[in-house]
Structure 1
Amino acid sequence: MNCSDYVAMGILAFPCFPLKRKGATAQTISSKELNSKESVSTKVNTSSEAPLRVAPIPPRFSLSPKSTGIGTIHLSINEIREITQNFSPLYMIGEGGFGSVYRAKLDDGRIIAIKRAKKENFAALQAEFRNEVELLTKIEHRSLVRLLGYNDQGNERIIITEYVPNGTLREHLDGQHVKLLNFNQRLEIAIDVAHALTYLHLYAEKTIIHRDVKSSNILLTENFRAKVADFGFARTVSPQPDKTHISTKVRGTAGYLDLEYLKTYQLTPKSDVYSFGILLIELLSARRPVEMKKPPNERITVRWAFNKYEEGNDTEILDPALEEMVDKDVLHKFLGFAFRCAAPSRTDRPDMKEAVEKLWDIRRDYWRRTLATVR
């Protein structure tokens, strides 16, 4: 379903809950620009085809340590076909609106992810492809999936990124992996995503609004650290003191979309904050933002969860598969903050820097109470 389908069914309406408050188009990147920083190839290119162009070293702004540099990849289309067995379904690890994602192994043993644009929507995906490549060449943070290269030769549009081995957050919440995410891991995932969005909003060369923060765009490492992926919908904003938003066509995923943005077409970093609030509720409940198979009063997860919160039934919001006991005060703080992020009005939402600080406070409180219980 797209956004208009949800609007037509009237399920995007958000509850006007009372908050308890305290106190343009992507440019084509030239080969010269992309090769402005020389790098040693990880593979000798023996093909006569033009090699994959390589991203320059990004600006070094970050709230937390960046990922370890893993070099750049030079691959031709023929080489990409070879290491994916001509894009065999056996190598496919995911599929989305842009296209299919494949796992591939290089000659030196490293694993990479290859995202290939769908052929049927080739023209429509061109802008999304260019946008993602342009943005990923300018950013680097340990909680953002790292670009290794891209190829736009002929009728192929391919993005190559680091491989994140533990699937998506949504897969884990759906129980598709053996190990269940415990509360501490969910809290750490929330903090990782908050760090990534803070970097995009405040520390990138220009403010970047992701516009599609959702559980299927959060990838997990072996140690259950989160990395934000998929920048096809992202927008950059030049800092202008007299301008608080940009007016743009609505892009995003139904259920995560900032309703104020949906109504006014005015995009701000607070639109990502709204999506992040929905993600926090999803992390705790394991429910999707819209659950059409649930009874009518439970279909909009944020509305259902807020009603439970107001009734004092916080524990009923928790993922039923989560068997551990979560301190009720910690749970209440977490939920209260999630609803604040998902407030209908952007003026009632925190910015992402404050979100990081609040989640740190919740983590400290959680560990203090956990240790006290153990003693």
Structure 2
Amino acid sequence: MTSPYPPRRRSGSDYSRTPGRVPPSPGYASSELSTSTISERQNPVVAAARSFTGMFAACFAPPESDNSRSLGDSEEFKSSSTASNGSRAGSRAGSQRGRNSNGGMNISSYNIVQRKEPGIVKFTMEEIFQVTRNFSPSFKIGQGGFGAVYKAKLLDGTVVAVKRAKKSLYEKHLGVEFQSEIQTLSKVEHLNLVKLYGYLDQGDERIIVVEYVPNGTLREHLDCIHGSVLDLAARLDVAIDVAHAITYLHMYIDHPIIHRDIKSSNILLTENFRAKVADFGFARQAADSDSGMTHVSTQVKGTAGYLDPEYLKTYQLTEKSDVYSFGVLLVELVTGRRPIEPKFELKERITAKWAMKRFMEDDAISVLDPRLDQTAANTLALHKILELALQCLAPRRQNRPSMKRCAEILWSIRKDFREQLSASNFRSFSTSSQRSSSLRE
């Protein structure tokens, strides 16, 4: 089949979505404009003045602060901490609904002119106080290991999630995660990655302002928290979206990035059930293959149940560690179970191990999420998805496929799945028509 990927690396803005995809909702179109951009469009005089001021200031601007160092130059980013399997609120802010979900103050556009990078706003504390109404409890929509998350609205109407890091002296690793997320998100742009709007790093306050994704996390939908069952077609679309996002990180930016925490609670869903990968606190720049490096030596970070066993054993991190986590995610999608199920009997406790054993015993149907129908189309897709998961979960990284290959295989699976659905619907329609004719006769 034809690969959905071009043979060259290109920037995020040049990266196209899968043909035939449901387009993003109109709400996301407006989010591409920053508050100062809106102000300039409304007042051409202001725009001209800002342009002149910018050229003048550029001649006398001080050098960039340490916080603006590149990914490779940041010593803090290079440092590692011990493994963490806690779930952080992160940019999964859209996963929970606030008591005042439509509320929010507007940021004044007059002060938001200082930028660290094009399109990334460096907010002041006063502006953050304005949009969160002094961190009003009614605006709070989440709480996690990183800290509290609030929902707010910018001047141009863009709804955002404001992530406020904890201030505990015992949470020093959160500073590393904060820098990691800022540095990573400021360098990437993809429809299946959560968008960064701005940040604040002032004193003991660390705040990230990111895209608000309103339809919860994938894990919530697999748990039916939102009241409906996510069908297999939607789950397959989510898998493809995630594969596209990780492929972009691994191949289509100047310095490839390893996410290191691919899991269902870090995947947010839009109103149209398009997936967006979030939470880049553990992200790490990949080894420079041009210099002959094959891996990055680092202490282990990630979430229990998703961690690459070879990475755990050798401390050698590669893009294939993300592939292993993606394999666990594929099993999670078709079974509906969490990677680790403590309440189950021992042989079923580790979901991926249990599912792969059943698959190898030619009993794949027994692992299908019981909330999904055992139709011909679902059964066919189940076998193919588990086969791909088995490859991703290979103990040795060289035996795992690339994320690009995973995306190509999933495309093929979705194509076959849709054809099977169409054939089944046609047969069902034909049978109904025959029954109707018999009754009339």
TM-score, structure 1 as length reference: 0.81
Aligned match of 2:216: 167
Query: In terms of Rg, which structure is larger?
Result: 2
Give the gaps of 5 or more residues in structure 2: 1-65, 70-105, 427-441
Aligned match of 1:315: 365
4+ residue runs over 4 A deviation: 71-74
1:308 is displaced (CA, Å) by 1.7
Aligned match of 2:327: 277
| 8 Å contact from structure 2 (residues 153, 160) kept in 1 | yes
Query: Which region of structure 1 is more displaced relative to structure 2, 120-129 or 295-304?
Result: 120-129
1:241 is displaced (CA, Å) by 4.9
> Aligned partner of 2:358: which letter?
K
Residues 1:146 and 2:210 aligned together: no
Query: Per residue, is there more helix in 1 or in 2?
Result: 2
Give the distance between the partners of 1:242 and 1:169, measured in 2 at CA: 37
| 8 Å contact from structure 1 (residues 54, 148) kept in 2 | no
Aligned match of 1:19: none
Written as runs of structure 1 = structure 2, the 5 A alignment for 1:61-140 is 73=121, 75-120=123-168, 121-140=170-189
| 8 Å contact from structure 1 (residues 149, 161) kept in 2 | yes
| 8 Å contact from structure 2 (residues 177, 281) kept in 1 | yes
Aligned match of 1:61: none
Aligned match of 2:46: none
Aligned residues: 323
Residues 1:264 and 2:325 aligned together: no
Query: Which region of structure 1 is more displaced relative to structure 2, 328-337 or 245-254?
Result: 328-337
> Aligned partner of 1:367: which letter?
R
1:99 is displaced (CA, Å) by 1.6
Give the distance between the partners of 2:255 and 2:412, measured in 1 at CA: 28
1:87 is displaced (CA, Å) by 2.2
| Aligned alpha-carbon RMSD (Å) | 2.1
| 8 Å contact from structure 2 (residues 108, 127) kept in 1 | no
Percent identity of paired positions between Structure 1 and Structure 2: 53
| 8 Å contact from structure 2 (residues 109, 155) kept in 1 | no
Aligned match of 1:23: none
Aligned match of 2:39: none
Residues 1:224 and 2:273 aligned together: yes
| 8 Å contact from structure 1 (residues 211, 272) kept in 2 | yes
- Which residue of the other structure, out of 341, 346, 350, is the alignment partner of 2:401? 350
- Which residue of the other structure, out of 319, 328, 351, is the alignment partner of 2:379? 328
Give the gaps of 5 or more residues in structure 1: 1-26, 31-41, 58-70
Give the distance between the partners of 1:178 and 1:324, measured in 2 at CA: 21
Task: Give deviations 1:70-93, integer Å, cap 9, x for gaps.
Answer: x65564212222322322333222
Give the distance between the partners of 2:163 and 2:410, measured in 1 at CA: 32
Query: Which region of structure 1 is more displaced relative to structure 2, 213-222 or 90-99?
Result: 90-99
State the secondary structure of the residue aligned to 1:249.
Answer: coil
Written as runs of structure 1 = structure 2, the 5 A alignment for 1:177-326 is 177-237=226-286, 238-323=288-373, 325=375, 326=377
Query: Which region of structure 1 is more displaced relative to structure 2, 270-279 or 243-252?
Result: 243-252
Give the distance between the partners of 1:363 and 1:204, measured in 2 at CA: 27
Aligned match of 1:15: none
Give the distance between the partners of 2:385 and 2:289, measured in 1 at CA: 31
Give the distance between the partners of 2:113 and 2:231, measured in 1 at CA: 41
Give the distance between the partners of 2:383 and 2:328, measured in 1 at CA: 16
Aligned match of 1:67: none
Give the distance between the partners of 2:151 and 2:209, measured in 1 at CA: 10
